[in-house]
């Protein structure tokens, strides 16, 4: 049964304890590097080359888009995720965040580059994600010429992931969110694919390849 029937799948220990610890430490250290460079005015505060704190969904959270190490993970895990979903997939991009206490992830559905998505727990404190498997709940609407997302506020299903666990889901169909984090911290990486049959020329989210920064994207669609 494919992911289109199940809507979401939980894969336990898709990464081993030793491997996920490497990624977790990398993400924490990359944030420290970014902060040090910013504090010493060694990089442009608007540059995203070392990550950024300007995410619109979770304000003030350290994030990376299309990091080369995580994009490599996207490719390495693709055969396993294709097996679990019974779908042929093409890599789009990765997006990682270091969340802190009281951070939250608003209810939303993703853009088309996130058609088949995974959220993978890198480490930190336990923090469940919620998903509503009913694609009829929640939608994007135009309000005064601006696209906004309207949630129906359903309860959803709680999924708790341990480090190395991954939830794979239909990112553009199923509303998902996280309630405010009550513990100290949690790091997650999002793995985004599209079904190969739906891809024309927008592999790697229209970038020139894995690890390429956002300014290499072709066309006008440069939102993260």
Which residue would you say has higher pLDDT here, 35 or 56? 35
221: confidence class by pLDDT, cuts 50, 70, 90 = low
* 215 is a domain residue: no
146: confidence class by pLDDT, cuts 50, 70, 90 = confident
Owner of token pair 């005015």: 41
* 119 is a domain residue: yes
Q: How many domains does the chain have?
A: 1
* 54 is a domain residue: yes
Q: Is the pLDDT assigned to residue 157 strictly greater than 60?
A: yes
Q: Is the pLDDT assigned to residue 222 strictly greater than 70?
A: no
The three-point CA angle 115-116-118 to 5° equals 130
Q: Would you state the pLDDT for residue 220?
A: 55
Strand 185-195 vs strand 116-124: parallel, antiparallel, or unpaired?
antiparallel
* Number of other residues whose CB lies within 10 A of the CB of residue 149: 13
Q: Would you state the pLDDT for residue 177?
A: 97
User: Which of these ranges, 56-60, 98-102, 220-224, has the smallest mean pLDDT?
Assistant: 220-224
Q: Which helix (H) or strand (E) holds 191?
A: strand 185-195
Domain range spanning residue 146? 3-197
Using the Cα atoms of residue 116, residue 130, residue 104 and residue 101 in order, give the sign of their dihedral.
negative
pLDDT tens for each residue of 73-95: 999 999 999 999 999 999 999 99
Q: Would you state the pLDDT for residue 140?
A: 87
145: confidence class by pLDDT, cuts 50, 70, 90 = confident
* 220 is a domain residue: no
User: What is the percentage of the chain residues whose pLDDT exceeds 90?
Assistant: 88
* 203 is a domain residue: no
CATH classification at residue 73: 2.60.120.620
* 218 is a domain residue: no
* 160 is a domain residue: yes
* 128 is a domain residue: yes
User: What residues form DSSP beta bridges with 10?
Assistant: 167
- For the chain, the distance separating the N- and C-terminal CA atoms, rounded to the nearest angstrom, is 31
Query: Rg for the chain (alpha carbons), in Å?
Result: 17
Q: How far is residue 80's CA from residue 181's CA, in Å, rounded to a whole number?
A: 30
């Amino acid at each position: 049964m494919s992911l289109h029937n199940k809507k979401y799948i939980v894969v336990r220990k898709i990464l081993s304890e030793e491997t996920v610890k490497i990624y977790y430490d990398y993400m924490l250290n990359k944030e420290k590097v970014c902060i040090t460079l910013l504090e010493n005015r060694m990089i442009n505060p608007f540059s995203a080359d070392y990550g950024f704190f300007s995410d619109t969904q979770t304000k003030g959270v350290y994030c990376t888009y299309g990091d080369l190490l995580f994009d490599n993970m996207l490719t390495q895990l693709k055969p396993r995720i294709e097996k679990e979903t019974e779908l042929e997939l093409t890599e789009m991009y990765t997006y990682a965040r270091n969340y802190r206490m009281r951070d939250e992830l608003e209810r939303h559905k993703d853009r088309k580059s996130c058609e088949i998505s995974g959220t993978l727990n890198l480490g930190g404190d336990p923090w469940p994600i919620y998903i509503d498997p009913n694609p009829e709940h929640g939608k994007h609407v135009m309000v005064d010429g601006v696209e906004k997302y309207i949630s129906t506020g359903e309860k959803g299903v709680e999924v708790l992931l341990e480090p190395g666990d991954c939830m794979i889901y239909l990112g553009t169909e199923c509303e998902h969110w996280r309630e405010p984090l009550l513990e100290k911290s949690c790091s997650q990486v999002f793995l985004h694919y599209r079904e190969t049959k739906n891809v024309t020329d927008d592999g790697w989210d229209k970038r020139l390849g894995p690890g390429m920064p956002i300014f290499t994207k072709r066309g006008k669609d440069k939102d993260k």
